[in-house]
Chain A
Amino acid sequence: MIDRAELDLFRNSLRQAVERYSGLELDAALAAAGWADALEADPPAAAAVLFPLLGSANATCRALEQVFTAAAGIKPPASSIVVMPPLGNWSPPASEIDGRLSVRGVGRPGPGGSQALVVTAGGQARLVDAGDIRIRQIHGIDPSFGLAEIEGENLAFEPAGPARWDDGVTLAQIALGHELAGSARKMLDLARDHALERIQFGRPIASFQAVRHRLAETLVSIESAEAMLDAAGGEPHAELASMAKALAGRAAKTAGRHCQQVLAGIGFTAEHPFHRYFRRTLLLDQLLGSTRTLTEDLGRSVLSARRLAQLLPL
């Protein structure tokens, strides 16, 4: 465990890195700030520090892949593409038949990556040659995230050991939830600042109850997601993590709707930063299960069990 004072120092150095850099430069700055050591020492605590900052700064880096592989117990070669499931999905992206692999998912190719790391439905990590798979760079809603669609059939592979897929998904969902919540908080900050500065009818629009209640509703939604994210990080558990990710996705949607409305015309322009956060949350919501798919899945399991799981004891 990391103690509180260490955590504050760590947060400060990560904040400086995240506010200054993105992409490969940020990966290097995070390495210099001790991110890898923190991730090894206390994965949920480390993720809870970095990912809200990433969301707030709209920065990208390879931390998601690192969190996933650390929690899944995989040590991939540096710069390999870590293949995640297709959008909206959280099942392993590869299946193995007669010693060959089929892969369908998404991932972020970087420079120098000659291999892709996949996990099979049987819980085995495998390395495939990047030249054997089809990689389509996704521009889509958020080109700056660097995501690509990845597909391949009948692939040869090298074994890379067993993988704890569910553990990897659990921690990666918590990390994504924190990033969504961080983005949602940033949208709320942008809308709050605008509401206090924008004068109409002789008063700041923040003085109008319709505006205040939209922003209050946004804060409620974010804080409820954060409560579940903290709980899920304290006792990493698949059901808590998927609920936390769904709640964070819903909070980001709530923030997007209300903050866009409060920002009004200026928030609809490309020059205002709002749209970058809005775009990012739409993409993050789809990674490792969306609010919609996770919620339906939870509902199905509760309906078939006909009872609630006893979670979150005092």
Chain B
Amino acid sequence: MELDAFRKGLDDWLDQNEAVLSPDHDPPGTLDQQMGQLAKVKRLGYDAGWMRWGWPEHAGGLGGSTILRAYLGEALTARGLVEPGVYSMTEVLAPTVISFARPELTAEVLPHLLRGEEMWCQGFSEPGTGSNLSSLSCRATRTEAGWTVNGQKVWTSYAQYAKRCVLLTRTGTQESAHKGITALLIDMDTPGITIRPLETMHGAEEFSEVFYDDVVVPFDRTLGEVDQGWTVAMDLLPYERSTSLWHKCAHLQRRLSDLLRAVEPHALQAAEVGEVVQLLYAFRARSRSTQHRMANGDSLGAETSIDKVLVASAEQAVFDLVAAGLPHQLVAADEPAGARWRTEFLYSRAATIYGGTAEIQRNIIARRLLDLGDDR
């Protein structure tokens, strides 16, 4: 399937099925509502084929270029059918699982994810391991029954909804750093897992602390080689900064257009509006070329840190403009539209923190793209 045919077919399908696809709540809705909406859209999309294009056939897909997935998420986001945050997990986790899981495991689990029957989560960060990922200490020990996992993760987005988790564990000595990490795909209903959701400042239980106490994981759930989990993590991180960011861009364009319709004349200065529009379109141009590079089979790497810096800056700039143009909505309004602006403004403050802080992205750019040598 070529992009133009896909675009035309998908747009027609979305037009024809607007009533059944649309959320039955005011956007953005509670996280429960968002998850329900996501599951519905993915199921309908999968059954109609759209959700399967761009994924390999052995993973339940129909094959074709990854550019089709980029357009699907853009169309769903631009029409307000899915929230980009919950939708992004598929784009972030599935490509790496497909590359590193046994083919039988991929064939078993991927269709459930694509059809919206399952949510997945990503167990990387720990209380003592934020920016310094290679210091993680959640341990997996070889036992007769399989890996036995003990430790704690934190900031695990959507853990309470997740059926499975891509988990990084320590299998070497603590000193082995990035050389002693193993990645596992675990089932979140395994005994010994305790999930404690954390409420964010924008009022959602978006992420959780997750405790692992003697959690037994079969050896055949290992992703890639034992002690080579760093390779898996490094494969996954660029996906955090590629297709999902393209979808975020569609959301930001939609919300900036909403803002332009909502503001009183003269509430905003032309120069500040113009600069935000430029930032957003510069990010769009950058991300578009990333989508095409990915579709051409180029491997994505450190250069995606530039995409990440740009989208985080653009997101905060859009919502700073919201704060400037709709101060009453931000501070005092309690009806759904006002609450939504406030929620999204507050959420935008995290854009330079999650998925690798703005500082970590700049460290990567300095080390890998500018080749500035060691930082000590």
Contacts and interface: CB of A to CB of B under 8 A. Distances in A.
A213 B275 CA distance: 22
A308 to B, nearest CB: 5
Interface stretch (B199-207, B283-291, B336-344): B283-291
Nearest to B74: A314
A287 interface: no
Interface string A206-237: 11110011011101100111011011000000
A161 to B, nearest CB: 34
B277 A207 contact: no
A307 B275 CA distance: 15
Contacts of B7: 314
B288 A303 contact: no
Given A196-B373, A230-B289, A243 B260 contact: no
A306 B277 CA distance: 12
Interface residues of B, number: 49
Interface string B252-281: 010011001100010011111111011101
A314 B289 contact: no
Contacts of B265: 303
Nearest to B289: A227
Interface residues of A, number: 45
Contacts of B362: 212-213, 216-217, 220
Contacts of A243: 277-278, 281-282
B270 A299 contact: yes
B317 interface: no
B64 to A, nearest CB: 14
A204 B370 CA distance: 14
A247 B278 contact: yes
Interface string A88-121: 0000000000000000000000000000000000
Contacts of B286: 223-224, 227
Contacts of A294: 274
B281 A228 contact: yes
A195 B373 CA distance: 10
A246 interface: yes
Given A224-B310, A228-B282, A308 B373 contact: no
Interface in A280-314: 292, 294-300, 302-303, 305-308, 311-312, 314
A209 B375 contact: yes
A206 B376 CA distance: 9
A297 B269 CA distance: 11
A192 interface: yes
A140 B362 CA distance: 36
Give the dominant DSSP class at B's interface. Answer: helix
B270 to A, nearest CB: 3
A294 B277 CA distance: 12
B67 interface: yes
Contacts of B365: 216, 219-220
Given A302-B273, A303-B260, A314-B67, A219 B370 contact: yes
Contact of A212 (B67, B279, B366): B366
A240 B374 CA distance: 39
A297 B71 CA distance: 31
B373 A314 contact: no
A308 B257 contact: yes
Contacts of A240: 281
Contacts of B373: 196, 204, 206-207
Given A206-B373, A207-B375, A314-B74, A219 B306 contact: yes
B375 to A, nearest CB: 5
Contacts of A220: 306, 309-310, 362, 365
B23 to A, nearest CB: 23
Nearest to B246: A314
B278 A312 contact: no
Contacts of A295: 270-271, 274-275, 278
Contacts of B273: 298-299, 302-303
B3 interface: yes
A314 B366 contact: no
A228 B268 CA distance: 25
A311 B281 contact: yes
B255 to A, nearest CB: 10
A227 B372 contact: no
A299 B269 CA distance: 8
A302 B263 CA distance: 12
14 contacts: A203-B376, A209-B359, A213-B359, A224-B282, A227-B286, A228-B281, A246-B274, A295-B275, A299-B273, A299-B275, A303-B265, A305-B260, A311-B281, A312-B288
Given A195-B372, A227-B289, 6 more contacts: A213-B359, A215-B366, A216-B361, A247-B282, A295-B274, A311-B281
Interface of A: 192, 195-196, 203-204, 206-209, 212-213, 215-217, 219-220, 223-225, 227-228, 230-231, 240, 243, 246-247, 250, 292, 294-300, 302-303, 305-308, 311-312, 314
Interface of B: 3, 7, 67, 70-71, 74, 253, 256-257, 260-261, 265, 268-275, 277-279, 281-286, 288-289, 291, 306, 309-310, 359, 361-363, 365-367, 369-370, 372-376
